[in-house]
A = this chain, B = another copy of it.
Amino acid sequence: MDKAIQIALLGFGTVGTGVVKVLESNADDIMKKVGAAIVLKKILVQSANKARKVATGAKIVTDIESIVNDQDIQIVVEVMGGEKPAKDYILQALRAGKHVVTANKDVVAKHGKELFEAAEASHVDFLFEASVGGGIPIIRPLKQCLAANRISEIMGIVNGTTNYMLTKMTKEHMDFATVLAEAQAKGYAEADPTADVGGFDAARKIAILASIAFGARVTLDDVYVEGITNIAIQDIEYARELGYVVKLLAIGKQDDQGINVRVHPALLPNSHPLAAVNDVFNAIFVKGDAVGETMFYGRGAGELPTASAVTADIIDVARDIRHGVSSRILCTCFEKKAICPVGTTESPYYIRLLVEDKPGVLAAIAGAFGAQQVSLHSVIQKRKVNGRTEIVLITYRVTDESIRLAMSTLAGMSVVNKVGNIIRVEAEEIIS
């Protein structure tokens, strides 16, 4: 058995606690897999006096220097989250020749390029499996297991909070505000839920996934983002009647025109593998030219699932250290690819309108869509509401731009009382 590999944790919150637990409880197995023990030497915290949920033999420190200057420490594990000071600490560690493992989606999505370059310059590993999908193996499968493929599509349910909320709305017929309050009470949603329900958390994750899947850097600014705050209970019920579920999807696609990356709610056919992913579970669906359709499913957050991914990265680095190798697989963004503007994105649309209940209304509406080359697949009258009619339209595949033009015309029509919602349909073919 080789001599122990010493590591340091930056952060001792939920994920840090999980990593301490996993390293401790599975120490024997991990030692066999690595061929050396992994010893947690130091943990960086903000306040040294705070009570902790788990005992550790590690030294608690409050300054990053005592870690980056410690020659015994070979791997620095960043689990503090947030952009500052995490990014600077990671950079310092890389420059000091430490291998780095991080669970930080903000830092990877925003500063990936700089960090990879620093890792390469120092000939060290930089791994971040836990930054997307919590415990679900997805970064390594994309970089290694699917490396022979040209990926055309990566589509994920990558935010557990919103998936829990949409599942509750679907299964228990609760409205958005009630579900949000319940999710907040349970600790599934933050007091300020914007990052989750606004789609921004998912946007960071799809930026990371798309960069790897397509071999070209995709940054947060490249991602079109729309949250779930407008999803009403009747949208979910009408979708169900039509054979769909409503999910918040993070989508990356590439074709000859370039890359298209977006986060938005969508109607997904019940038959799609992602449609059955419920509650706080996450899943990532990947389509490659050789492998066809694959999906990776599991818990996208939480103390132990995230610690599972972080510790797997630690084990991988430790194996590299034992074999005297590093930087085997670093940045894979080899190309520059065009980002397609969202206006050119094509999909069928679900549109819910409240219209006047009188003759000629449907013809007028169909005419307004037709003027923008938007063809309607179906028009369904759903119910009467105070002398008006709620209708649901499903369009054929149209560009985002055409639908926006058509909707602005419609909004100005006197027979259209209210545009209830407009939601993309993510399907190869419309279910009839």
CA distance A316 to B325 in the complex (A): 14
State A137–B145 Cα separation when bound (angstroms): 6
Asked if A137 contacts B148 (CB within 8 A), the reply is no
How many positions in chain A have a CB within 8 Å of any CB in the partner chain?
Answer: 59
Cβ–Cβ < 8 Å partners of A328 in chain B: 319-320, 323, 325
Does B312 lie within 8 Å of A26, measured CB to CB? Answer: no
Which stretch, A28-36, A69-77, A358-366, touches the partner chain B?
Answer: A28-36
Is A22 interfacial (CB-CB < 8 Å)? yes
Whether a CB of chain B sits under 8 angstroms from the CB of A51 is no
The answer to the question of A311 belonging to the interface, with a C-beta cut-off of 8 Å to chain B, is yes
Does A201 have its Cβ within 8 Å of any Cβ on chain B?
Answer: no
**1/0 contact string of A1-32 vs chain B (CB within 8 Å):** 00000000000000000100011011001101
Docked complex Cα distance between A327 and B325 (Å): 12
Most buried by B among A18, A135, A147, A273: A147
Which residues of B sit under 8 angstroms from A305, Cβ to Cβ?
A: 290-292
- CB-CB < 8 A to A257: which residues of B? none
**Is there a chain B Cβ closer than 8 Å to A110's Cβ?**
no
Partner of A22, one of B145, B290, B297, B314: B290
Is A405 in the interface zone, CB < 8 Å from B?
no
Cα–Cα, bound, A328→B147 (Å)? 19
- Chain B residue numbers with a CB within 8 Å of A309 are 145, 291
The answer to whether A26 and B273 have CB atoms under 8 Å apart is: no
Query: A324: which of B29, B149, B294, B325 is its contact (CB, 8 Å)?
Result: B325
Residue numbers in B under 8 Å from A398 (CB-CB): none
Complex-state Cα separation, A150 to B22, whole angstroms? 10
Asked if B323 and A147 sit within 8 Å, CB to CB, the answer is no
Residues of B within 8 A of A215 (CB): 29, 32
A156 → chain B closest CB, angstroms: 13
- Asked if A104 is at the interface of the complex by the 8 Å CB criterion, the answer is no
Q: For A297, what are the chain B residues with a Cβ–Cβ distance below 8 Å?
A: 273, 293-297
Q: Given A26-B289, A215-B29, A325-B323, does the pair A312, B145 have CB atoms closer than 8 Å?
A: yes
Is A299 in the interface zone, CB < 8 Å from B?
yes
Residues of B within 8 A of A298 (CB): 291-295
**Main secondary structure on chain A at its contact with chain B?**
mixed
Looking at A276, A290, A329, the one whose CB has the most chain B CB atoms below 10 A away is A290
A208-235 residues with Cβ-Cβ distance < 8 A to B are: 215
* Cα separation A302 to B291 with both chains bound (whole Å): 9
Q: Which chain A residues (106-133) contact chain B, with CB distance < 8 Å?
A: 129
Q: Which of B32, B141, B295, B308 contacts A149 (CB 8 A)?
A: B308
A307 to B149, CA, bound (A): 10
A100 an interface residue at 8 Å Cβ cutoff?
no
Give the residue of B291, B294, B311 whose beta carbon is less than 8 angstroms from that of A148.
Answer: B311
A309 to B276, CA, bound (A): 26
Which residue in B129, B283, B294 is a CB contact (below 8 Å) of A145?
B129
| Cross-chain contact of A312 among B22, B135, B146, B308 (Cβ < 8 A) | B146
A332 at the interface (CB under 8 A from B): yes
Given A289-B26, A320-B328, does the pair A146, B137 have CB atoms closer than 8 Å? yes
With A145-B312, A273-B297 given, name 20 new contacts (CB 8 A).
A32-B215, A32-B332, A32-B334, A135-B294, A137-B145, A141-B141, A146-B308, A146-B312, A147-B312, A291-B299, A291-B308, A291-B309, A292-B298, A292-B305, A293-B299, A294-B298, A296-B297, A323-B325, A324-B325, A325-B325
A: residues with CB less than 8 A from B are 18, 22-23, 25-26, 29-30, 32-33, 129, 135-137, 140-141, 144-150, 215, 273, 276, 283, 288-299, 302, 304-305, 307-309, 311-312, 314-316, 319-320, 323-325, 327-329, 332, 334
Q: Which 4 A-B pairs have the closest CB atoms?
A: A137-B145, A148-B311, A294-B298, A290-B308
